Structure 1
Amino acid sequence: MVGADTAWIIVATALVLFMTLPGLALFYGGLVRARNVLSVFMQCFGIACLMSVLWLVAGYSIAFGDGGLYWGGLGKAFLSGVDADTVSGTIPEVLFFAFQMTFAIITPALIVGAYVERIGFGFVMLFSALWMLICYAPVAHWIWGGGLLAGGEGSWVAEGVNDFAGGIVVHQTAGLAALVVAFFLGARQNKTTPPHSPGMVMIGAAMLWVGWFGFNGGSQLAADGTAAMALTVTHISAATASLTWALWERIKYGKASLVGMVTGTIAGLASITPASGSVGPVEALAIGAIAGVLCQEACKLVKDIMNIDDTLDVFAVHGVGGMFGIVMLAIFGHAAWASQLTGLAVVGVWTLVITTVIVFVAKAVFPIRVSEEDETNGLDIAAHGERAYDLTS
């Protein structure tokens, strides 16, 4: 084991968990009505806890076990055969387990943005559990665990799909799943209510930005120059996309909003994620510049043309951003077109089909949608018996 690598991935693991708790929770929480902010916090926190346990029970083994091309099997369930001295590359395997666990936490948590303000908490927990184990973990195995899209003997692609930190594994899967859930859930009663706390949105986005250094830089699994470059290009893409989103918003509407600018930040971060291990600063500048406009236009496409109430634009920002980054790797010559497009197609079909099946299974156990009265009154009181703000004091 290399001490510097171990130290860096310990830090990166903490940073990626910080992205969900509290980063994503605050980002999403600020975007909803005041009467639903605690429900968003509860969904993010509950998902983080449940995914952690399930990753130990079976998720890690499915994703990174030695089962074959299609899944990793259950040979490493409950970390069987792994102790403090077992290594994965140059770091302890238990640390690799923990680092990847934080990815398994944030990916289903991203989907929360599609269904806030109207979904049943029981459905959220069951859906997220099944989705992580059946959809996310196998895809992680296919691309990162030596499976059917990783290249090599038996692979479906001659060259492995180049997805450094999760353009397909994290962002495409979460984005497409968000579309599916939002489609079956239906639109909110009131889709015009503005974010209750833009300041909270900005704080959450800033936390996500900082945490993303661990997300992308840590994916090198070493403290070296590639990790440093990944961190650098991540920052450049985020900053550039923030500016282009704000500029495009100003051109179209006459004003640039804080919520818009920080949403551009997330678009730039999602778009650079798969490419961060391969591109340089100038390429990152181009990725970010395009992402700020592309993802903003995708928001309009989903809501106005597709007429799907993906409430907080999970597909437009994460799904489109991640897939865009995958394609840009081929455009810049860092990956084979056939591999990248095959990866997008295979994972896209898998995610749409499996997510649809999981929605119907989860619906059979828990109601997918709360009552009209509970939606009107807000989920904080209706589902959790609490209020975020005491307006009488």
Structure 2
Amino acid sequence: MSSGDIAFVLVSSLLVWLMTPGLALFYAGVAEEKNRFYMLRLGLIVIGLVSVLWFALGYSFAFPGTNHFNDIFKHLFLNGVSFDHTTRALTIPDAGFAFFQGTFAIITVMIITGSIVGRMKTAALLAFLSFWMVLVYAPLAHMVWDNGFIAQLGAIDFAGGTVVHISSGVTGLTLALVLGARRHMITPKGKDSFTFVGGLLLWLGWFGFNGGSALAANGQAISAIINTGVASATAMLVYAYIAYRKNKVVTVADLFNGSLAGLVVITPAAGFVAPWASLIFGILVAFVIHWSLSTLKTKCGYDDTLDAFGIHGVGGILGALLTGVFASKEFGSTTAGLIQGSWSLLGDQVLAVVITIAFTAIVSYIIAKILSFFFNGTLRVDAKTEEKGLN
């Protein structure tokens, strides 16, 4: 055990935990005023709900340490999880690893809510998120980070391009399609103070999100933190330029949409690529995310209210694919990417993206449809409640 590594991962965990109230504040800032304070309350509820579920079931399902079905029950309520030694060849105890991973589950669940703000019954939403965390997030985390099916294919994901961003974005889109579009489509007047503070908390927390995923205070953690800063700053500037060229004005939401795009896209590659590559990640994602929010969303006609899919889903897909191009053995990757002359990793990444999208969409749809039978046939709030808002 290393006291330095333990301290680093614990501080990183607290930074990731802070991202959920930050995201709640950010969502509240860009949501319609009639749902603004509802989003703040929902953020706190999600923290409580997922924390308890992760302690009781989630960690055991996600990280049994083997691929035998019976073993997923051995760590229920953190039973048998050591607080002073590791079974995962790390320099931090298993309980510290469990806490760090639990904060990832919380923020992932919260991301989903941005797609369906003001349209879904609160009880139905909380039921859906509970089942989703256990039946989608935990198995996917196992498949990618616990030597499960996707990891064995050869795909890599440093901090959650597939597990966090593609899964939450695709789930948000699936729910949005199940519920249908808002009855009154308007562009809300944002509250910049909420957006600004929430966005900064997200940005700050992301250094723990990506840096902490090295699970040690080492060179790879430093690399991940630097790449996170470069990609997010680059994407923010490029996105702001695109927005200004189109609208002749740059809003606070534009600036943070750009930075978030950069944070999302670098997440699966943060500890696997050279710093110069993160600059390219940031430039490319700014154009792709601006297109997804301004063109793809309109042409396809889906109502992704606060763009959870448009930013996290699309950005996660792009990041996973770019990881297959720019991954470098000199910067922590176990497999060389296309830039170093190997095509195999890119193929593995494509397959991982397809599997993640299919698994997430299918299971999310089934959960939503089954739950609808317990809520009078619909998960959606009535027209009067939607018009009034959920504050």
* Equivalent residue number for residue 350 of structure 1: 359
* Equivalent residue number for residue 148 of structure 2: 147
* Equivalent residue number for residue 283 of structure 2: 289
Percentage of identical aligned residues: 37
* Equivalent residue number for residue 25 of structure 2: 26
How far residue 233 of structure 1 moved from its aligned partner, in angstroms, is 0.7
CA distance in 1, matches of 2:142, 2:116: 27
Deviations 1:79-99, CA, capped at 9 Å, x for gaps: 111242232411011111110
Deviations 1:371-392, CA, capped at 9 Å, x for gaps: 1111111111xxxxxxxxxxxx
CA distance in 2, matches of 1:361, 1:5: 44
How far residue 119 of structure 1 moved from its aligned partner, in angstroms, is 1.5
- Amino acid of the structure 2 residue aligned with 1:220: A
Find the residue that maps to 2:151 and give its secondary structure: coil
Shift in alpha-carbon separation, 1:291–1:301, aligned structure 2, 3 A: same
How far residue 195 of structure 1 moved from its aligned partner, in angstroms, is 3.5
Instruction: State which of 319, 329, 337 in structure 2 corresponds to 1:325.
Output: 319
Conserved in 2, the CA contact under 8 Å of 1:70 and 1:148?
Answer: no
CA distance in 1, matches of 2:374, 2:16: 32
- Amino acid of the structure 1 residue aligned with 2:133: M
Deviations 1:189-220, CA, capped at 9 Å, x for gaps: 22223233022112111110000000000000
The answer to whether the aligner puts 1:369 opposite 2:370 as a matched pair is no
Q: How does 1:1-393 map to 2 (within 5 A)?
A: 1-21=1-21, 23-68=22-67, 73-87=72-86, 88=88, 89-151=90-152, 157=153, 160-334=154-328, 335=337, 336-366=345-375, 367-380=378-391
CA distance in 1, matches of 2:373, 2:54: 24
Shift in alpha-carbon separation, 1:289–1:94, aligned structure 2, 3 A: same
Shift in alpha-carbon separation, 1:355–1:244, aligned structure 2, 3 A: same
Shift in alpha-carbon separation, 1:190–1:72, aligned structure 2, 3 A: farther
How far residue 301 of structure 1 moved from its aligned partner, in angstroms, is 3.8
Conserved in 2, the CA contact under 8 Å of 1:43 and 1:124?
Answer: no
CA distance in 1, matches of 2:32, 2:314: 26
Find the residue that maps to 1:175 and give its secondary structure: helix
Shift in alpha-carbon separation, 1:251–1:196, aligned structure 2, 3 A: closer
Shift in alpha-carbon separation, 1:72–1:242, aligned structure 2, 3 A: farther
Find the residue that maps to 1:304 and give its secondary structure: helix
Conserved in 2, the CA contact under 8 Å of 1:70 and 1:138?
Answer: no
Give the gaps of 5 or more residues in structure 2.
Answer: 329-336, 338-344
Shift in alpha-carbon separation, 1:41–1:72, aligned structure 2, 3 A: farther
Deviation larger for 185-194 or 309-318 = 185-194
- Amino acid of the structure 2 residue aligned with 1:100: Q
Shift in alpha-carbon separation, 1:204–1:72, aligned structure 2, 3 A: farther
Deviation larger for 294-303 or 234-243 = 294-303
How far residue 67 of structure 1 moved from its aligned partner, in angstroms, is 4.3
CA distance in 2, matches of 1:239, 1:71: 45
- Amino acid of the structure 1 residue aligned with 2:174: V
How far residue 63 of structure 1 moved from its aligned partner, in angstroms, is 0.6
Shift in alpha-carbon separation, 1:211–1:194, aligned structure 2, 3 A: same
How far residue 69 of structure 1 moved from its aligned partner, in angstroms, is 6.6
Shift in alpha-carbon separation, 1:198–1:70, aligned structure 2, 3 A: farther
How far residue 302 of structure 1 moved from its aligned partner, in angstroms, is 4.2
How far residue 362 of structure 1 moved from its aligned partner, in angstroms, is 2.0
Conserved in 2, the CA contact under 8 Å of 1:58 and 1:77?
Answer: yes
CA distance in 2, matches of 1:71, 1:228: 38
Find the residue that maps to 1:274 and give its secondary structure: helix
CA distance in 2, matches of 1:200, 1:49: 22
Find the residue that maps to 2:149 and give its secondary structure: coil
Deviation larger for 173-182 or 65-74 = 65-74
Deviations 1:15-71, CA, capped at 9 Å, x for gaps: 0000002x1011001111222112111222211111111111111011100341779
Conserved in 2, the CA contact under 8 Å of 1:26 and 1:204?
Answer: yes
- Amino acid of the structure 2 residue aligned with 1:195: K
RMSD: 1.5
Give the gaps of 5 or more residues in structure 1.
Answer: 152-156, 381-393
Deviations 1:252-280, CA, capped at 9 Å, x for gaps: 22222221111111110000000101112
Conserved in 1, the CA contact under 8 Å of 2:289 and 2:311?
Answer: yes
Q: How many residues align?
A: 372
CA distance in 2, matches of 1:69, 1:299: 42
Deviations 1:338-362, CA, capped at 9 Å, x for gaps: 2111111111110110010011122
* Equivalent residue number for residue 331 of structure 2: none
How far residue 78 of structure 1 moved from its aligned partner, in angstroms, is 0.9
